[in-house]
Every structure is written in C-alpha cells, then in structure tokens.
Amino acid sequence: AVNRKFHPDDTVVDVDGAKIGGQNFSVIAGPCSVESEEQMICIAKAVKKSGAKLLRGGAFKPRTSPYSFQGLHDEGIRLLLEAKKETGLPIVTEIMSLTHIDLFADVDVIQVGARNMQNFELLKELGKCDKPILLKRGLANTMDELLMSAEYIMAGGNSNVILCERGIRTFETATRNTLDISAVPLLKEKSHLPVIVDPSHAAGIANLVEPLSKAAVSVGADGLMIEVHNNPPKALCDGDQSLTPVQFDHVMEKVKMLAAFENRI
Ligand code: PEP
Ligand code: MN
C-alpha cells in the first residue's frame, strides 16, 4: 500500500544502481522527444557529465493536436537504448498504450504521463510488471487521486513507484501549469514513495526551471526531471521550456549544492 502507516520507511527505487528515494537525490534529464541519434547521444553525454543519473526522452508523445509530432515510436526506443549503451544511463520513457508494452522490454523506467494518470487498465497491467513506474500527476487531479493511482500499480504487486509533481491547471496563464509545491511534503507525509518534481512542464518557460528546481530541493523532493535539448528553438516538442546543456549544467551546480546542504547524495 502507498500509505506510510503501513510502511514507515522511505521506499528507495533502485534503477540499475541509480537510486531514487531515501537520502538519495537523483536527476532525470533529456529531451521532451527523441528526435535523432545525434541528438540523443549529444544530450545523453552532456547531462551525464553534469550529474544526471537517468536519461529521459519521449518515443510516444501525448500531443494535444494530432498534427503535431507524435514521436518516433519503436525507433525512438531503439535510439534511447543506443544512448544508454553509449553512456550507461538508465532510460525513462512514456507508455501511452498497453498494446505497446512489448516494445518497453528493455526500458528501465516506464513513465505514465499526466494524461494517463487515471487510465486504470494501463495502471493494473503495469502493476503486473517488475519495472519501476514513474507516475505523473494528472493535469487536474488531487494528491489523493494520484496516490490512488499509485495504489492501482502497487495492488498488482509492483511496489516500485515514483510519484511526480508536474504542475496542475489553475486560472493562472502566465505559466503553462502551476507547480503545486505543497504536494511534495504532503505526498511524502502521506506516502513512503519517492516524490520528484518536473519543473519543465510545470513552468513551460526555460528561465523558471532553475528557481523551481531550487524550491523543489528545499521542500524535500527526491529528485527532478528536467527537459534538455541541444537546440531548443528547433526542438520538435517543448522547446520553450527546454534548457541547453550549458544552462542545465548551471542548474545542476546550484541543485547539487542545495542537495548537499540537506545531506542528500
Ligand atoms: C513528458 O514528460 O514528456 C510529458 C508529456 O509530461 P506530462 O505527462 O507531465 O505532461
Ligand atoms: Mn515535454
């Protein structure tokens, strides 16, 4: 069960040696979408050098418009695995349909995106697999609904769930979403599961990624997921919120200092 009452100690999710939860502080970084081999290898090497412990990249993209770039699908997963081979970084990528599950056999962490947080049949099926699941909070879902979705996965026998606060819909239009910073300490109080923050999708603006990342570390987040692109203006998805590798390196410097101050490793 997700409730801390039944499990007082923090759950630590071990992804091929990269630990998320407990005293660990781990950053997942990479492009919104996998676009090409050169792009993936370049970004993977850069984020590793800056201290990221996992590599992200979307192969199946949940786009608002059917005419927007939908991802490279199986080829995208192949390129992520190439980047893993090159850098050793475990990979995180989003699943959109149960029909694709076989393509995820070598993926290290399966992401359930905000739009599928309450796709209960998908959650039940992921509960039967032995891979860590990164569960993102829905655009308009409460913390308790997020925890119940995690419960769906755990009820099937999979206890490796990482929660992700990625901003929620509010009346405010200045940012893409509103980062619900209170969600971090509250979710950690209610549950033993690790909680990470995605400042990129919360803000929708690259310049806000650093301040929101610092806030996340300060309220006790177990990690961050940050979008990084080698050429943000040319990105096929989410360029406005993507950091260049140099910008990411600066954010990591600050974040690592704050995490060390909080005795996180
Ligand atoms: C993503 O992480 O690529 C993504 C689509 O995020 P979200 O589901 O939070 O919108
Ligand atoms: Mn994105």
CA 165 to CA 122: how far, in whole Å? Answer: 20
Residue 197, token pair as written in the block: 């923050």
Give me the average pLDDT of each 10-residue run along the chain (265 residues).
96 97 98 98 98 98 98 98 98 98 98 98 97 98 98 98 98 98 98 98 98 98 98 98 98 97 90
With a 6 Å cutoff on the Cβ, whether 136 touches ligand 1 is yes
Residue 265 confidence (pLDDT): 86
In order, the DSSP letters of the chain are --BGGG--SPP-EEETTEEESTT--EEEEE-SB---HHHHHHHHHHHHHHT-SEEE-BSS---SSTTS----THHHHHHHHHHHHHH---EEEE---GGGGGGGTT-SEEEE-GGGTT-HHHHHHHHTS-S-EEEEPPTT--HHHHHHHHHHHHHTT---EEEEE--B--S--SSSSB--TTHHHHHHHHBSS-EEE-HHHHH-SGGGHHHHHHHHHHTT-SEEEEEB-SSGGG-SS-GGGPBPHHHHHHHHHHHHHHHHHTT--
Domain harbouring 162, CATH code: 3.20.20.70
Is residue 78 in a domain? Answer: yes
The Å distance, Cα 64 to ligand 1 centre, comes to 11
Is residue 45 in a domain? Answer: yes
Number of the ligand 1 atom closest to the C-alpha atom of 237: 3
With a 6 Å cutoff on the Cβ, whether 114 touches ligand 1 is yes
The Å distance, Cα 6 to ligand 1 centre, comes to 30
Please, which residues bridge with residue 92 across strands?
56, 109
Spell out the residues 6+ positions from residue 190 whose beta carbon is closer than 8 angstroms to its own.
2, 3, 4, 143, 147
Is residue 15 in a domain? Answer: no
The dihedrals phi and psi of 249, each to the nearest 5 degrees, come to -60, -40
Is residue 129 in a domain? Answer: yes
Q: How many residues does the chain have?
A: 265
Helix/strand/coil (H/E/C) assignment for every residue in 129-140: CCCCEEEECCCC
Identify which of 93, 180, 198 to mutate to test ligand 1's pocket (most ligand atoms within 8 A of the CB).
198
Is residue 50 in a domain? Answer: yes
With a 6 Å cutoff on the Cβ, whether 19 touches ligand 1 is no
Is residue 91 in a domain? Answer: yes
With a 6 Å cutoff on the Cβ, whether 31 touches ligand 1 is no
Is residue 200 in a domain? Answer: yes
Number of the ligand 1 atom closest to the C-alpha atom of 238: 3
Asked whether 11 and 194 are in contact (CB, 8 A), the reply is yes
Could you count the other beta carbons within 10 Å of the beta carbon of residue 67?
7
The number of folded domains in the chain is: 1
Instruction: Provide the whole-model pTM.
Output: 0.98
Is residue 213 in a domain? Answer: yes
Q: Which domain holds residue 84?
A: 4-9+40-56+71-261
**What sign has the CA pseudo-torsion 163, 207, 23, 12?**
positive
